[in-house]
Amino acid sequence: MRFWSLLAIGAAFVLGIALLGRGRQNRGNLWSAWLEMGRRWGNRMNLMQRMNMNQWAKRGRRIIRNMNWT
């Protein structure tokens, strides 16, 4: 998980540098693109974390139920 997030951050950084190198006059456009990418990535991360939390909650409930039965 950490490896993929680091990879994505590195790719975004390289992409941002490439965009900066191409033209400095559209810095506002670049900034909005950065914000949009960050929002999209944040949503994806939240979704993954939510799914992980649900998985852990289900597992924990199952474990607790098993403990109660024994």
Predicted TM-score (pTM) of this structure: 0.28
Domain count, the chain: 1
pLDDT at position 55 is 73
Alpha-carbon distance 24 to 14, whole Å? Answer: 16
pLDDT at position 50 is 72
The stretch 2-11 carries a mean pLDDT of 81
pLDDT band at 59 (very low <50, low <70, confident <90, very high): confident
Query: Range of 57's domain?
Result: 2-69
Tens-place pLDDT, residues 24-46:
555 566 667 777 777 777 777 67
pLDDT at position 54 is 72
Contacts of 33 (CB under 8 A, 6+ apart): 19
